[in-house]
Structure 1
Amino acid sequence: MSMAGAAKKEGTGPGVTDHGGGVWSIPVPIPDNPLGHTLVHLLDTDRGPVLIDTGWDDPTAWDTLTAGLAACGTSVSAIHGVLITHHHPDHHGLSARVREASGAWIAMHAADAEVVRRTREAEPTRWLGYLAVKLAAAGAPEEHLAPLRAARASGRASGQTDALPGTRAAQPDRHITPGELLDLPGRRLRAVWTPGHTPGHVCLHLEEAHPAAGEGMPGHGRLFSGDHLLPEISPHIGLYEDPDDATVTDPLGDYLDSLERVAALDPAEVLPAHQHAFTDAPGRVRALLRHHEERLAGLRALLLGAPLTPWQLAEAMEWNRPWADIPYGSRNIAVSEAEAHLRRLVKQGRAEPVPGTDPVAYQAV
């Protein structure tokens, strides 16, 4: 089967874009999410088509994905393999259905595969207890903790605990090894480990001449960037949560280092999982590095005023809506992001915990 395209073309199906050279993108909707959709990419290989991410596990998303594949001249049953940039449900959600329909393998970085295994096997009440302890230590008020404690006591994961990880995600049967070319006959696709958004996030570098190279487009190949590098927004950077691991991680530091790694690749074009394709990856990386430095400086300025717990810092941070309008589960995510920024400030020597505080408050240095 050959689906090779030559140039980017819009309108080849339900929102499908032909990026040329055997690469397509299919916008798969995310229910009730301001991002709107995940751009699932289709890559032609000599052994059959391969998906990069799959979209949210939702009937409308599934119908959109299957219609998009038909518009690309293929079908779910023909899919040879699935490459997952990271384990989040808007990327990995439909992987199990794709595998059931096609027999395709699913590949993911080992660190995110471990997250999938852990969340599939975890007792919901154990996770509820862990989350309640973590949030209490971050300074969450009792009214926020009460629903978690009540759900744990009743032995169920319900109520306002909609931020709990899902348990239906497919366990991958292959690992993506950073630095190595993937086993895709006829293509040169290399995995690049880019932790930060998740511990096992990967970008995939298509080390082939861009279809527009003959028109003078500068850069080296194309980069499927997942959520690591997006054209207009910065991805969420929170803590890597694991009830069995007390290691103090630095996800924001991991992310900033990963950005530098991607800039050095200097791809001709970036094909992200949200928004739209774009060029000048090094320029976008520089903008994101500035953004995070400005944000860190702003958070340190807040800590100059008075010591703050992670919860209080999250309340004071700028979000896309007022704190009062942020839903319950999203507040958990916001506090995790505040903690990730605090860890970076502490590691840089720009903030420190205040001795004797409980919950621990932080002050600027």
Structure 2
Amino acid sequence: MILPPITLTGHAQKEAWQNKVLPPVERLGQDVWSIPVPFPGNPMRYTLSYLLLGAGDAVLIDPGWDSDAGLDHLTAGLRQAGLGLTDLTGIVVTHFHSDHLGMAARLRIASRAWVALGDREVRRLSASEDLDLVLRTHSEELTLWGVPADRLAEVAVNRLELTHLRNLADPDLRLIDGSLVPAEGLDLRVVTTPGHSPGHICLVDEPHGLIFSGDHVLPRISPHIALELPGPANPLADYYESLDLIAFEDAMEVCPAHEYRFSGMQRRVAQLVEHNRERSAEVLRVLDRHRPETVWDIARHLTWSRGWDSLQAFSLRLAVSETASHVVYLRSQGHDIDVPVTEPRPAVSR
């Protein structure tokens, strides 16, 4: 099915994306700024942070990956808006991923700003958890999914990654669906949109005609929907429901955390639904043709943009966990799939 295209609005951002360079700091309106923060060593290359100025309050959405270079870029962007780090009063993070929440702890110390996450978002690792137990459990789950023994160390999360997750900021505030971000002079409404993470949120700014979509809706790529253990039982079903919630209008400008701005939220949501439906259909075709016995066996027969053999380490882990989410979703739709997938353990918000 050929679906109508979205409308590009972030022309400088797209040009920078195509040229593989950082886009410029941009003023989107009198009180809204887009500030790119480098995401080193990752194909996404940068996170788009957004600064909103209210009546005495200055709120930053998704401060990005924590690094000295990132802080320099963020500080320079704030300077263009006439602010310093100490002028920040609030930091809203769309979800608990390092390229969004990473800089929050450092900024909170520098500015004393509060940090907020959605009330359904979960901390992937607490300070009290036994890292050896987490590592062992994760390896057991990947083994159940069929990851070969000689690839297990490559695919599994490692101690350095876990330590990084444990050091991410705890939120000072939790934002519930439908609430307003507590900042004077701003009208930012919270929409809870689980899928990419258990408690991802989008933010709707009707006075400025903007939707800050985090990773929930991106203009070009389909956000990764993984089966996380522990985590929600059916993240892909959650994602479909969340897409319906955010596709309430088509004219507002969408400000994603990666790539570039666009308008046409309803059109993009239709594309994302179509993409994921086709992916599930491809999983069913693989099951019918190849009779795979594990999630890994399914994944290696699926179509990947750069080919299965190109996937390594973190990207390979994402591919397997994404395939597992489709298996769980298809089972919920009544398909009899005899492939072992551990039922996710409930995750607790902290």
TM range (shorter): 0.7 to 0.9
- Contact kept in structure 1, 2:92 and 2:117, CA below 8 Å: yes
Q: 2:204 corresponds to which residue? A: 205
User: What SS does the corresponding residue of 1:126 show, helix, strand or coil?
Assistant: helix
Aligned twin of 1:315 = 300
1:238 maps to 2:192: no
Residues in 2 aligned to 1:10 and 1:301: alpha-carbon distance in whole angstroms: 41
The residue aligned with 1:188 is 187
Residue 264 of structure 1 aligns to a residue in which SS? coil
Corresponding letter in the other structure for 1:229: V
The amino acid across from 1:23 in the alignment is V
Q: Which residue of 2 aligns with 1:3?
A: none
Q: Secondary structure at the match of 1:316?
A: coil
Which amino acid letter does the alignment assign opposite residue 293 of structure 1?
R
- The equivalent residue for 2:3 is none
Tell me the distance in 1 between the aligned counterparts of 2:331 and 2:257.
32
Give CA-to-partner distance per residue, 1:87-124, whole Å, 9 cap, x none: 10000000001000000000001332x315x3443222
Residue 227 of structure 1 pairs with residue 234 of structure 2? no
1:172 matched to 2:171: yes
Q: Distance in 1 between matches of 2:31 and 2:316?
A: 41
Shift in CA distance, 88/201, structure 1 to aligned 2, threshold 3 Å: same
Matched ranges for 1:1-365 at <5 A: 15-112=24-121, 114-116=122-124, 118-145=125-152, 157=159, 166-208=165-207, 210=208, 221-242=209-230, 249-266=233-250, 268-308=252-292, 309-353=294-338
| 1:25/1:226 CA distance change after superposition, 3 Å | same
- Structure 1 segments, 4+ long, off by >4 Å, are 8-11, 146-149, 162-165
Deviation at 1:147, TM superposition (A): 6.7
One-letter amino acid of the counterpart of residue 306, structure 1:
H
Whether the aligned pair in 2 keeps the contact of 1:120 and 1:166 (CA below 8 Å) is no
Q: Percent identity of the aligned residues?
A: 39
Shift of 1:148: 8.5
In the alignment, is the contact (CA less than 8 A) between 1:300 and 1:351 conserved in 2? Answer: no
Say if 1:147 and 1:282 are closer, same or farther in 2 by CA, change over 3 A: closer
Q: Does the 8 A contact of 2:93 with 2:100 survive in 1?
A: yes
Give yes or no for contact 1:163–1:329 (8 Å, CA) kept in 2: no
Question: What amino acid does structure 2 have at the position aligned with 1:135?
Answer: L
Q: 1:300-328 CA deviation, whole Å, 9 max, x = no partner?
A: 11111132211111212222323232222
- Whole-Å separation in 1 of the counterparts to 2:144 and 2:200: 28
Instruction: Give 1:206 deviation, angstroms.
Output: 0.6
Q: Which amino acid aligns with 1:348?
A: Q
SS, match of residue 166 in structure 2: coil
Q: Report the alpha carbon displacement of residue 257 of structure 1 after superposing the two structures with TM.
A: 1.0
String of CA shifts for 1:205-245, please: whole Å, max 9, x gaps: 0121x4xxxxxxxxxx2100000011111110001322xx7
Q: Deviations over 1:9-36 (max 9, x none)?
A: 979x981011004111111110111111
Unmatched runs of 5 consecutive residues or more in structure 1: 1-7, 211-220
Whole-angstrom distance in 2 between the partners of 1:181 and 1:266: 22
- Give the superposed CA RMSD: 2.6
State how far apart, in whole Å, the 2-side matches of 1:292 and 1:164 are: 33
C-alpha distance in 2 between matches for 1:360 and 1:121: 27
> For each residue in 1:119-152, what CA deviation from the matched residue of structure 2 results, as whole angstroms up to 9, or x when unmatched?
4432221111111111011011111235789x9x
Specify the alignment match of 1:218 in structure 2.
none
Q: Is the 8 A contact 1:30 1:90 kept in 2?
A: yes
TM-score by length of 1: 0.83
- The Cα shift of 1:176 comes to 1.0
Do the aligned residues in 2 keep the contact of 1:132 with 1:145 (CA within 8 Å)? yes
From the superposition, tell whether residues 186 and 10 of structure 1 become closer, same or farther in structure 2 (CA, over 3 Å).
farther
- Rounded Cα–Cα distance in structure 1 between residues aligned with 2:323 and 2:149: 19
TM-score, normalised to structure 2, is 0.86
1:4 alignment counterpart? none
Contact preservation (8 Å) 1:222, 1:267: no
1:165/1:289 CA distance change after superposition, 3 Å: farther
Q: Is the 8 Å Cα contact of residues 120 and 198 (structure 2) preserved in structure 1?
A: yes
Per-residue Cα deviation, 1:40-63 (whole angstroms, up to 9, x for no partner): 000001132110011101111111
